[in-house]
Amino acid sequence: MSDEPIDVATALSAFDELWSPRIVTRVNDYDVRIAKVAGEHVWHAHDHTDEFFLVLDGELRIALRQGGRERTVVLRRGAVYVVPRGVEHRPSSVDGASILMFEPSGTLTVGDRHEQVPEHVDVTTGHPL
């Protein structure tokens, strides 16, 4: 990790892959990750951690399944949302978005439980910038 300030816009311009987060820095035992997204991710759940989302640009939709019910939250630029641990969710973006996430280091992008992972989703714990 760098001991210099990191410009998030510059970091986002350094890669093009969708659903393939980059680790910008670490805070204690948490990764600060950025990603470019478009289309749908995969239904998944993180059994042991919440997941924090901040939309940097565009619009992100997060479908949620809990207790036999489904709903979708819509996040526009500047909005934050936390998916509670154990809640099944599927992020998506119609026109594309750039997002920032906080997750414990080593957390898989597809969680602990997930449906079949499509080819366009990178199964990773994050890539260094």
22-27 vs 30-40, strand pairing mode: antiparallel
Domain boundaries, the chain: 8-121
Tens-place pLDDT, residues 76-116: 999 999 999 999 999 999 999 999 999 999 999 999 999 89
Residue 46 to residue 42: CA distance in whole angstroms: 12
Residue 81 to residue 79: CA distance in whole angstroms: 7
CATH of domain 8-121: 2.60.120.10
Q: Is the dihedral of CA 75, 81, 87, 93 positive or negative?
A: positive
Checking if the pLDDT of 3 tops 90, the result is no
Whether the predicted model's global pTM rises above the 0.85 cut: yes
Tens-place pLDDT, residues 50-68: 999 999 999 999 999 999 9
